[in-house]
Amino acid sequence: MTAEKIIQRLIDSRYEAYFIGGYVRDKILGIKSLDKDVVTSATPDEILSLFKDQKIDLVGKSFGVVLVNGTEVATYRRDRYFGLSDKNVEVTFAPSLKEDTERRDFTINTIALDIGGNIIDIHNGIRDLDLRVIKFVGNPLDRIREDPCRIIRACRFIAKIDGIFDGKTFDALKNTAHYINLIPNERIQKEIMKAMKVKAASKFFISLYQIGALEYILPSLQSTMGFTQKNIFHKERLFTHSILTGDKISCKYPLVKLAGYLHDVGKVHTRKYDKKKKTHTYINHDKISTDMVEEELIGLKFSNSDIEFIKNLISIHMYPPPKTGKQLRRLKKRLEELKLTYRNYLRLLIADSHSRYSKIVPTKLNISKIKDLLRLDKELVARNEPFNRKHLAIDGGDLIQILKIKQGKEVGKILDYLLDQVLDNPKLNTRRGLLILATNFITGGVYV
């Protein structure tokens, strides 16, 4: 049963029912949205009775929310808070749509839509959408105290609609930025990842900085603000370079995008002046960046796999782009060890190179160079060239059976040696050739 049919059944049963929230907001903005939330005058028990022939999920019944075939159907409600948390709330049902909208966060999220396509706009949300204004419903301080995570949500919506803050909203956010410390880290992590689905997510970080909240979330990125790079490759400030890099990465790849915003934070701690080169250098900044980002993402409760992906991508962002097949094979070996793909390496590499201002040194990877990088990989795949142990024409079992090598670390050392030879010359990757190489390696006494 579709959301439209759910609303129609509610109406046919003499209840009020509307679409509300993100679906309506995005529809007005011309953005496709799959999540359709329904609000109704029917109580949860009445919803259950009315849709007993459908798949029902009672996960939010205590808050007046029932899932009907995956569609969130919420009863009009009032929320009474008794602490600085979305958990400290007493829910009672409300008699009207107006009272329900008064508990919501921003005016742009209070717009309702009936089944006939008519807009119900009690809090002038359409006007604020037209003006691209983020404005709290009612008293901004009350809305923030009810749920401090609204501080981060406000900044995310600034990025989403390319907006500005209402004056009173901005003042309230600035005065309560320290409430960030009250938000569970898991919720902060989710808001960050939602922000990565916006093309210019830089506005999310800039807004957090403007209200004084960024230092509580990603202090490493905050530290780049105002940092001058003083380098022949970078005339722009570090924060500018960082946000430009992230913005140039598609929101189809949110983890790559986040890595783009954070890839150079270690420069703040590694700047040294090189008298011979007459410029500042940032030796090992990739390693320092990796360590800083890992610590922060652990604190924000990112998953181990997401942390590993982001830190590994940052760790290799200084690896020079390959110019030859040999260089590409060695790069792909390293990428596989880091569980990264060549395409994701390129996404960060290209974004990084296109986010620099330098009149002295040409740094951008132009279209021709990018095509060369893709062509190299296409040729490697077409020729089935090896870049890991699995691609070798022999395996550990062959070494044990044919060359009578004892099972253990020695087998791995020999395979690594063979792979190293094959990376330089793929033509060596034949069964006979590798057995000869392995024999020479053993008799030469290179391994112990």
* The two structure tokens encoding residue 140: 């901004």
- Looking at per-residue pLDDT, the higher value among 177 and 367 belongs to 177
DSSP string, 173-191: HHHTGGGGGGS-HHHHHHH
Largest Cα span, the chain = 89
CB-neighbour burial class of residue 285 (10 A; exposed 0-12, middle 13-18, buried 19+): buried
**Is 0.85 topped by the overall pTM?**
yes
Could you give the CA distance from residue 126 to residue 170 in angstroms, rounded to a whole number?
20
Residue 78: pLDDT band with limits 50, 70, 90: confident
Tell whether the model's pLDDT for residue 448 goes beyond 50. no
Phi/psi of residue 317, nearest 5 degrees: -70, -15
Tell whether the model's pLDDT for residue 293 goes beyond 50. yes
Tell whether the model's pLDDT for residue 361 goes beyond 70. no
Are 325 and 268 contacting, i.e. CB atoms less than 8 angstroms apart? no
**What is the rounded average pLDDT of the residues 383-392?**
88
Phi/psi of residue 114, nearest 5 degrees: -85, 175
**What is the rounded average pLDDT of the residues 223-243?**
79
Domain 132-217 = CATH 1.10.287.10: no
Mean of all residue pLDDT scores within the chain: 90
**What is the rounded average pLDDT of the residues 32-41?**
91
* The two structure tokens encoding residue 314: 């940052």
**What is the rounded average pLDDT of the residues 356-372?**
71
Tell whether the model's pLDDT for residue 213 goes beyond 80. yes
Question: What is the pLDDT at residue 234?
Answer: 59
**What is the rounded average pLDDT of the residues 342-359?**
86
End-to-end CA distance of the chain: 69
φ/ψ bin of 221: left (φ > 0), alpha (ψ from -120 to 50), beta (otherwise): alpha
Tell whether the model's pLDDT for residue 43 goes beyond 70. yes
Tell whether the model's pLDDT for residue 8 goes beyond 60. yes
CATH class of 222-382: mainly alpha
- Looking at per-residue pLDDT, the higher value among 282 and 427 belongs to 427
pLDDT digits (tens, 9 = 90+) for 142-175: 999 999 999 999 999 999 999 999 999 999 999 9
Share of the chain above pLDDT 70, in %: 93
Tell whether the model's pLDDT for residue 176 goes beyond 60. yes
Residues contacting residue 440 through CB under 8 Å, at least 6 positions apart: none
Calculate the CA 330 to chain-centre distance. 28
Between helix 167-175 and helix 150-161 the angle, nearest 10°, is: 140
Tell whether the model's pLDDT for residue 184 goes beyond 50. yes
Question: What is the pLDDT at residue 143?
Answer: 93
Are 240 and 224 contacting, i.e. CB atoms less than 8 angstroms apart? no
Tell whether the model's pLDDT for residue 11 goes beyond 70. yes
SS3 breakdown of the chain: % helix, strand, coil, rounded to 5? 55, 10, 35
**What is the rounded average pLDDT of the residues 369-392?**
89
* The two structure tokens encoding residue 402: 């044919």
Share of the chain above pLDDT 90, in %: 68
Question: What is the pLDDT at residue 229?
Answer: 61
- Find the range with the poorest average confidence among 143-157, 176-190, 332-346, 374-388: 374-388
Residue type, 416: D
- Find the range with the poorest average confidence among 66-75, 336-345, 351-360: 351-360
**What is the rounded average pLDDT of the residues 98-107?**
95
Tell whether the model's pLDDT for residue 277 goes beyond 90. no
Tell whether the model's pLDDT for residue 363 goes beyond 80. no
Could you give the CA distance from residue 249 to residue 260 in angstroms, rounded to a whole number?
7
Are 107 and 79 contacting, i.e. CB atoms less than 8 angstroms apart? no
Domain positions in the chain: 1-127, 132-217, 222-382, 389-443
Could you give the CA distance from residue 287 to residue 264 in angstroms, rounded to a whole number?
10
Tell whether the model's pLDDT for residue 81 goes beyond 80. no
Residue with tokens 């983020």: 134
Fold of 1-127: Beta Polymerase; domain 2 (3.30.460)
Question: What is the pLDDT at residue 447?
Answer: 45
Tell whether the model's pLDDT for residue 198 goes beyond 80. yes
- Looking at the DSSP bridge assignments, the partners of residue 19 are 38, 113
**What is the rounded average pLDDT of the residues 396-407?**
86
Could you give the CA distance from residue 177 to residue 14 in angstroms, rounded to a whole number?
45
DSSP letter at 361 equals S
**What is the rounded average pLDDT of the residues 440-448?**
67
Residue 251: pLDDT band with limits 50, 70, 90: very high
**Angle formed at CA 85 by CA 306 and CA 63, multiple of 5 degrees:** 90
Question: What is the pLDDT at residue 232?
Answer: 59
CB-neighbour burial class of residue 64 (10 A; exposed 0-12, middle 13-18, buried 19+): buried
**What is the rounded average pLDDT of the residues 354-362?**
65
* The two structure tokens encoding residue 382: 């077409």
- Per CATH, 1-127 and 222-382 having the same topology is answered no
